[in-house]
Amino acid sequence: MNIDLTDTTSSRINSALVQARRATGSPAVGMVLTLVIVTDEGNHYDALRAASEASKEHPSRILVVIKRPGRSPRDRKMARMDAEVRVGGETGTGETVLLRMHGELANHAYSVVLPLLLPDAPVVVWWPEDAPENPADDLLGQLAQRRITDAQATEDPVATLGLRAETYTPGDTDLAWTRITPWRSVLAAALDQKHSKITSAVVEGEAYNPSSELLALWLAERLRVPVDREISEGPGLTAVRLETADGVICLDRADGALAELAMPGQPDRHVALQRREMSELIAEELRRLDPDEMYAISVKFGVSKLNGGGADQHDPAPAGTSAAAAGGGTATATAERSGPPAPPRPPLPTRDPGTAPSPTNTPAPPQAPAPPATPAAPQTPPASQAPKPSDLKPGGKAEGKGNGKGEK
């Protein structure tokens, strides 16, 4: 049953929901949560279809917030809401309300949604696209126990993961993390069968694929080994290789549907790793409403800690870092030694012929092409030229003794 409401209010929408339930013969409310979808006119159809499929597993009231702020100044000043109430039929045991908010009302969706929430039921908010930088600070996000975003729908997925790590609040999650649940399950089961020390890992996937980055972060944080990120043609994640003392454990999915698991000492086997639909991802997220601690640990581990593949182009491996740091330190020390404070002794400068040298800065002996006139004099010095105690340095040697340049 569908009920269209034009220029309506939240109170009228609640009355229409009660009327629709009575008309369909189900006055009791058997829904377990409220799912709020924040989207626009162009993307609401696909998001609503996925949520409706997920509601068959989790009966819920779906509130689709469609913001239409308007283009002209006149449209932006107006405040109007149109609604469409759907009960039964494709919605199954749940309820669906489409809220089209025009003009200034699009900036105050919180005040419209709050009266329509199911009483004493958890709230989940999902942004299919254009999620706020900090979902927990959004007014709608503050109503929810779980906040779902999708980094894959952004222009720069890897930078979005970094933003999610900085603004993480318990209850946040991302569909890029949900997509790798089967991969994590298969890899964990493979490591349970083969107990061997892991030395490194490689994750292959499409460029700008946030699921590949999160899987690499999860492996790096759990295994504490270097993880390389390599680019492939896809689709999505294509392979994971774990280097062990006994050989390579490889999980390869080249076609996006069927994967092959190869382990040392065991025959190869096929594993179903088909790329899942959006409705399956949403249904998985609705199964648990508590904070996802493993997602928090993995995303906070930092994309910059990965090796290669574009995810860590600015951070070399630890060994390379040490060598580079040592080389840089040596170069710096050499530059300091050879800099102006302590330069090597240059040859005596050539003065202009008409300039008389000053007695204070004229070196001794004077520059002359001939060797010292009396080289044998230091061997048999007269008693009158013997070094005096005042001429001795603290080390006990006479200044200039035996070098032919002792005169000041």
Q: What is the pLDDT of residues 10-30, one digit of tens each?
A: 999 999 988 888 887 765 567
First to last CA, the chain: 112
Q: How confident is the model at residue 220 (pLDDT cuts 50, 70, 90)?
A: very high
Per residue in 133-145, pLDDT tens? 999 999 999 999 9
Q: How confident is the model at residue 186 (pLDDT cuts 50, 70, 90)?
A: very high
User: Across all residues in the chain, what is the average pLDDT?
Assistant: 77
Tokens matching residue 267: 């025959």
User: Which has the higher per-residue pLDDT, 118 or 395?
Assistant: 118
Which pLDDT belongs to residue 85? 93
Going by C-alpha positions, the residue among 114, 102, 123, 72 that lies closest to residue 8 is 102
Going by C-alpha positions, the residue among 230, 403, 200 that lies closest to residue 318 is 200
**Cα four-point dihedral sign 161, 162, 164, 170:** positive
DSSP output for 393-407:
-TTS-BTTTTSS---
Pairing of strands 227-231, 248-252: unpaired
Region at 117 (left for phi over 0; alpha for psi -120 to 50; beta for the rest): beta
Q: Are 138 and 61 in contact (CB under 8 A)?
A: no
User: Which has the higher per-residue pLDDT, 25 or 63?
Assistant: 63
- 391 half-sphere exposure, CB direction, 13 A CA radius: 11
Whats the size of the chain, residue-wise?
A: 408
Q: What are phi and psi of 12, to 5 degrees?
A: -65, -35
Per residue in 322-344, pLDDT tens? 222 222 322 222 233 333 444 44
User: Which has the higher per-residue pLDDT, 120 or 89?
Assistant: 120
pLDDT, mean of residues 357-375: 44
Q: How confident is the model at residue 42 (pLDDT cuts 50, 70, 90)?
A: confident
Q: Which amino acid is at 250?
A: C
Going by C-alpha positions, the residue among 285, 311, 291 that lies closest to residue 208 is 311
**What is the H or E stretch that residue 67 is in?**
strand 60-68
Which range has the worst mean pLDDT, 16-20, 105-109, 152-156, 370-374? Answer: 370-374
For residue 372, pLDDT beyond 70: no
Tokens matching residue 168: 């993480």
Which pLDDT belongs to residue 254? 86
**What is the H or E stretch that residue 152 is in?**
none
Per residue in 294-311, pLDDT tens? 999 999 987 766 554 433
Percent of the chain with pLDDT over 90: 46
For residue 187, pLDDT beyond 70: yes
Query: Which residues, other chains included, contact 247 with Cβ-Cβ below 8 Å and sequence gap of 6+?
Result: 263, 264, 265
Which pLDDT belongs to residue 41? 87
Question: pTM above the 0.85 mark?
Answer: no
User: Which has the higher per-residue pLDDT, 249 or 387?
Assistant: 249
Going by C-alpha positions, the residue among 297, 295, 318 that lies closest to residue 306 is 318
pLDDT, mean of residues 281-296: 92
Distance of CA 207 to the CA centre of its chain: 14
Tokens matching residue 56: 């068959």
Helix (H, G, I), strand (E, B) or coil at 79: strand
The Cα 254–Cα 236 span in angstroms is: 9
pLDDT, mean of residues 59-87: 84
Greatest CA separation found in the chain?
132
Which pLDDT belongs to residue 175? 95
The Cα 202–Cα 7 span in angstroms is: 56
Find tokens 């594993």 and name the residue: 271
For residue 154, pLDDT beyond 50: yes
Pairing of strands 237-244, 248-252: antiparallel
For residue 389, pLDDT beyond 60: no
